[in-house]
DNA sequence: TAGTGGTCTAGACCACGGT
DNA sequence: CCGTGGTCTAGACCACTAA
């Protein structure tokens, strides 16, 4: 069942992506869109809210909406899963488990994932034949067994876990910064020690808010970029200070 | 004039931040919230949509909404403006123009900012007394004169431009990656050449979609982190590949 | 001042989750 | 099965922009 407002949003998005509504141009008014699609105004507003959330259009009270950009945002799955992202963008990609072991959870890990044992997995992912990403992932005890059953060269861990135990990654928190490559990072990614890496730390939970995994992912510099489009009134991304003040 | 749904959202947000609604707990149903505030259900849905956009609550059809986190997202202004962010978080901060000059726009700059001259400014920003951010900003010709009137040690360029010509930065696109410090970066930020920097490139426009500036901001590693909370169905952040394939 | 988007209401039906 | 959130309607009034 596809919602009416999704169809209207698709329609408008196609006009933007195709260039029929160029960047900087005005969208039709809500009244006109409502008449064109035979829908109520509220439904049209839901549709343009989708486009606004994608960063494609902006709006201000009293004036027509304008087109801000043509790039289509990808889904949560594509941010969460390297495989889903790479596939959606037509890249050749691969993955290989380097090491995998169970151990007791540290205090910090207990706080994030719950008490007990954790499963620590080191995975190297490649894009277009080159190693680009080193994932150090810690899984909560309740998914550890399912993760251990996954082949070492599995393309998509996310999909494997969905197929095997119906696990859906629903919410994530991500911290993005830059770090120096350590000895292991450098060896596996094929860069010099101390060279820059883009780091994405994340904690992911299920629909119910149950923590699944905590990960430290490091990208070779130049291999990927994170992109965000925002506006006054929208605030998806936040800047946080590091360890600047004494006592922190 | 504060909207009704904003008041309801504030109310719920306070309960979350104060811990009255702990992380993982369920929100009251829409019907109950509507009755409690004497509002229609649609208004209540607007309120919880605000919290969902902030990443504080998640929802799924058929089940109660749950609390995902307590951290309050900051505003667009705080992502856009170093000064607004630093002030909102209680940091001591400063800024100093290093160099500033007018020149002809390159082809890429003309495409982003419009044709003609541009004003190129190199600014060093400090946090808690330490240099942490080097901004290389290129302003469009129509704001160049106003920027040139700003004192070299101005704390907040964003606010200065609002006060002087009423300019409001409304929309921004940001690209985040990691790079090596060049000679100039290293000297001004007080790090070694080749050490990692977190880079944020951005293009900002007015409400009308008119481009104002394009900037390359580089943070010393460890000084700041970007944070994002997302969910299935929300997609503020996007990953993009770099220069991996031949011919790109 | 006319047109536009922002807010709000009161109701309806449906899809899904949990019991 | 009931309660929940998701979708949709038809209308109203207001705040703001632009001519």
Q: Write out pLDDT tens, residues B85-135.
A: 888 788 899 999 999 999 999 999 998 888 889 999 999 999 998 999 999
Residues of B in contact with A63 (CB under 8 A): 207
How many Cβ atoms are within 10 Å of B169's Cβ, its own excluded?
Answer: 22
CA distances to A167, B7, B52, B177, B197 from B217, in Å:
39, 36, 29, 11, 10
Q: Write out pLDDT tens, residues B51-79.
A: 988 878 888 888 899 898 876 555 555 66
Provide the pLDDT confidence category of residue B244 given band limits of 50, 70 and 90: very low
**Nearest protein residue to the C1' atom of C3, measured from CA:** A62
pLDDT over 90 (residue B246): no
Q: Give the 3-state secondary structure of residue A130.
A: strand
At A246 the pLDDT is 33
User: Average pLDDT for residues B30-38, to the nearest whole number?
Assistant: 95
pLDDT over 80 (residue B42): yes
A-B CB pairs within 8 A amount to 272
Q: Give the 3-state secondary structure of residue A154.
A: coil
pLDDT over 50 (residue B180): yes
Closest nucleotide to the alpha carbon of A34, via C1': D9
Q: How far is CA B164 from the centre of its chain?
A: 22
% of chain B exceeding 70 in pLDDT: 90
User: For A139-143, A232-236, B33-37, which range has the lowest pLDDT when averaged over its residues?
Assistant: A232-236
At B80 the pLDDT is 78
pLDDT over 80 (residue B235): no
% of chain B exceeding 90 in pLDDT: 54
pLDDT over 70 (residue A241): no
Residues of B in contact with A225 (CB under 8 A): 175-177, 239-242
**CB-based contacts of B115, cutoff 8 Å, min separation 6:** B105
**CB-based contacts of B161, cutoff 8 Å, min separation 6:** B143, B146, B147, B150, B167
* Interatomic CA–C1' length for residue B43 and nucleotide D5, angstroms: 14
pLDDT over 90 (residue B182): yes
At A78 the pLDDT is 62
Whether the CB of B5 is less than 7 Å away from nucleic strand C comes out as yes
Higher pLDDT, A226 or A184: A184
Write the burial class of residue B183 (CB in 10 Å: 0-12 exposed, 13-18 middle, 19+ buried): exposed
pLDDT over 60 (residue A217): yes
Q: How far apart are CA B169 and CA B33, in angstroms?
A: 35
3-state helix, strand, coil in chain B (%, to 5): 30, 35, 35
Q: Give the 3-state secondary structure of residue A134.
A: strand
Q: How far apart are CA A133 and CA A217, in angstroms?
A: 7
Q: Write out pLDDT tens, residues B151-170.
A: 999 999 988 998 888 888 88
Closest CA of chain A from B48, distance in Å: 14
Residues of B in contact with A67 (CB under 8 A): 209
User: Average pLDDT for residues B198-227, to the nearest whole number?
Assistant: 91
* Interatomic CA–C1' length for residue B101 and nucleotide C2, angstroms: 46
* Interatomic CA–C1' length for residue B60 and nucleotide D6, angstroms: 9
Q: Write out pLDDT tens, residues A154-207.
A: 999 988 988 888 888 888 888 899 999 999 999 999 999 999 999 999 999 888
Site from A171, A181, A216 to mutate, B interface, most B CB atoms within 10 angstroms: A171
Provide the pLDDT confidence category of residue B229 given band limits of 50, 70 and 90: confident
Higher pLDDT, A137 or B235: A137
Closest CA of chain B from A185, distance in Å: 14
Cβ distance B230 to A174 less than 8 Å, yes or no, reads: yes
Cβ distance B241 to A224 less than 8 Å, yes or no, reads: yes
Residues of B in contact with A233 (CB under 8 A): 76
A48, A7, A5: which is closest to A28 by C-alpha? A48
Cβ distance A237 to B236 less than 8 Å, yes or no, reads: yes
* Interatomic CA–C1' length for residue A55 and nucleotide C5, angstroms: 18
Q: How far apart are CA B155 and CA A22, in angstroms?
A: 37
Cβ distance B76 to A245 less than 8 Å, yes or no, reads: no
At A248 the pLDDT is 29
User: For A33-42, A94-103, B36-45, B167-176, which range has the lowest pLDDT when averaged over its residues?
Assistant: B167-176
pLDDT over 70 (residue A74): no
pLDDT over 60 (residue B186): yes
% of chain A exceeding 70 in pLDDT: 90
Instruction: List domains and CATH numbers for chain B.
Output: 4-67 (1.10.10.10), 76-220 (3.40.1410.10)
């Amino acid at each position: 069942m596809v919602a009416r407002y999704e169809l209207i949003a698709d329609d408008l998005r196609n006009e933007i992506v195709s260039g029929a509504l160029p960047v900087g141009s005005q969208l039709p008014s809500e009244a006109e869109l409502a008449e064109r699609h035979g829908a109520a105004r509220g439904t049209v507003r839901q549709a343009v809210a989708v486009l606004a959330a994608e960063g494609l259009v902006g709006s201000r009270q009293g004036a027509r909406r304008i087109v801000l950009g043509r790039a289509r945002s990808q889904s949560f799955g594509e941010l969460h899963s390297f495989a889903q992202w790479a596939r959606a963008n037509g890249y050749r990609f691969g993955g290989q488990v380097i090491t995998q072991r169970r151990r007791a959870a540290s205090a910090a890990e207990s706080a994030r994932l719950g008490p007990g044992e954790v499963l620590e997995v080191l995975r190297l992912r490649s894009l277009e034949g080159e190693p680009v990403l080193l994932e150090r992932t810690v899984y909560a005890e309740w998914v550890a067994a399912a993760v251990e059953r996954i082949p070492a060269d599995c393309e998509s861990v996310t999909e494997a876990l969905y197929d095997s135990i119906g696990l859906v990654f629903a919410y994530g928190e991500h911290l993005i910064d830059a770090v120096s490559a350590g000895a292991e990072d450098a060896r596996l990614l094929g860069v010099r020690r101390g060279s820059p890496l883009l780091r994405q730390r994340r904690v992911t939970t299920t629909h119910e808010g149950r923590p699944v995994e905590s990960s430290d992912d490091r990208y070779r510099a130049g291999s990927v970029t994170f992109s965000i489009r925002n506006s006054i009134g929208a605030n998806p991304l936040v800047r946080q200070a590091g360890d600047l003040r004494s006592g922190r």
